[in-house]
Structure 1
Amino acid sequence: MNDKFRNFTNNQQMIAHIRKLAKDNKTSTQVILEEFTLDDFVRRIAKSKYKNNLILKGGFLLSSLIGINNRTTEDIDTDIKGKDLTSSEATKMVDEICNIIPSKNDPIEIKRVGNVQKIHEGAEYVGYRVHLLGTLYKKSKANIKIDISTGDIITPKEIKYEYNSLIDNSPIKIYAYNNETIIAQKLETVFSRSIVNTRMKDYYDIYMLNKLRKQTDYKKLKLDLSLTRTALENTANSRNSFNEIFEKVNKENYSWQITLDYIKSSKAMRDKWENYIHQKAYARKINFQDTLNAIEELMLELFVN
């Protein structure tokens, strides 16, 4: 490993590097510090005995796919396989991973803060959330979270993903969701939640994923459309929302098209989007109609192929 930490001997030098990265990526130093801590925790997962049990998904994976200049997060989302998910098991796993030192000069200390919390977001998954505190050179601090859940369907299965470290650009191999499952779950959420959806990041993520998949030089986001359709069917079946997407309501339209028209006409959804982009600078040049166009384009491709 090309250990970037070897180039730094104190907090000031590392913070200077973090400030440069923040400037280059048009974000704040605190966001980069959080990303460093998340990065370091993923490195620890990859070196742990749980490396085959934890499957990366969610915002951190998306940041890796589309770039932190386009998407930031303060948590790591994972699915677990091959182990029973209990509060005590989640605590044990996270504590053991925190105690791993990924390289001898690693200046980041990561510790669990408080007890694990049970999470249950709708009927989609059940899991646990663990709050962590990262300390860089015993001075600079970053609060992050890791969610460990179970129950979601991956079509056909998880992949071995090569994540490039933000710290030193070295490859970290870890299991992760494939692109088709990522897209399928985002689309299912859009249609099953319709105008009660408060997760505007789903719309943003679909817009960015759809945009980047069409760039011939962007190989991270190639999509198998047939597999994406299958993943959407599997996800909808597992979440009891199949008819909300695939039901033929008349000769010309599926249920998803009726829902999309409903979303298009919703002032409440446009207001939610405006609030979202006010908070997320990287999304400010995108209007809500752009995201709806991306969703429609992608769905039409899935229903043709």
Structure 2
Amino acid sequence: MFEIVDIKNIHDISEYDDFRVSLKATFFTIVTNIKIDITTGDLIIPHEVDYCYKLMFEDRSIAIKAYNINTILAEKIETVLARNVSNTRARDFYDIYVLMTLHENDIDRQGLCAAVWEKAADRNSVAFIQNYQKHIADINNSPEVARIWIAYCAKYSYAQGIKLGDILSIIEKVLTIE
């Protein structure tokens, strides 16, 4: 059984309404919290992907249209560069590292590079991508970003051993492809 706990607007300034729905899922004595982001009108490069999820306790599936991996990575890379040294979202760094590492052989790197540029154009942040080497160096040399990353790694054991510099190198490789 699902219970809606909260619905929040997740973008203060946006042409479209995007929401985060917080749910409490209960199955007998098991209770877990789930968050689902619902977006409309967002640029998905090159297009959405159809995912089919087979339900565990019923003999049926649910079809969901979702972001493809290039769009997810493009958004995260654009966010890291555009927020630069004021970025407090360590999770974006982690997500870039994990997605690029786990899906290394599945990612069309030229397509990803193009998606980053297209996402930046959509968000009016092309200047950050044009000067990515400077922004990567700024992030790499920022004591505040380093502190945030170290705190994230200390809090989440799955991030331990991942170096911020390695993540920034991944971003640089993505954008060097052109």
Common fold: TM-score over 0.5: yes
Structure 2 equivalent of residue 243 of structure 1 = 127
Residue 121 of structure 1 deviates from its aligned partner by 5.2
Aligned to 2:109: 225
* Residue 151 to residue 214, structure 1, CA distance change in 2 (3 Å): same
From 131, 137, 161, the counterpart of 1:261 = 137
TM-score normalised to structure 1 length: 0.52
Using a 3 Å threshold, how does the CA distance of structure 1 residues 172 and 186 change in structure 2: closer, same or farther?
same
Runs of 5+ consecutive residues of structure 1 not aligned to the other structure:
1-108, 216-221, 247-254
Paired residues, number: 177
- Maintained 8 Å contact 2:113/2:174: no
- Whether the 8 Å CA contact 2:81–2:129 is kept in 1: the answer is yes
Cα deviation per residue 1:7-52 (whole Å; 9 max; x = unaligned)?
xxxxxxxxxxxxxxxxxxxxxxxxxxxxxxxxxxxxxxxxxxxxxx
1:110 aligns with 2:2: yes
Give yes or no for the alignment of 1:130 onto 2:24. Answer: no
Identity among equivalent positions (%) equals 37
Task: Judge conservation of contact 2:112–2:174 (CA < 8 Å) in 1.
Answer: no
| Aligned counterparts, 1:61-100, within 5 A | none
CA contact (8 A) 1:164 1:172 kept: yes
Aligned residue identity for 2:40:
T
Q: C-alpha deviations, 1:56-104, integer Å up to 9, x for none? A: xxxxxxxxxxxxxxxxxxxxxxxxxxxxxxxxxxxxxxxxxxxxxxxxx
Aligned counterpart, 1:178: 68
Structure 1 runs (4+) deviating above 3 angstroms are: 121-126, 162-168, 170-173
Which letter maps to 2:91?
K
CA-CA distance at 1:213 after TM superposition: 3.1
For residue 165 of structure 2, what is the aligned residue in structure 1? 289
How many angstroms does 1:162 deviate by? 4.2
Gap regions ≥5 residues in structure 2: none
Amino acid in structure 2 at the alignment position of 1:129: R
Q: CA deviation at 1:240?
A: 0.8
For 1:153, the equivalent position in structure 2 comes to: 43
RMSD (Å), alpha carbons: 2.5
Q: How far off its partner does 1:279 sit?
A: 1.5
Q: Provide the rounded CA distance (Å) in 2 between the counterparts of 1:122 and 1:272.
A: 25
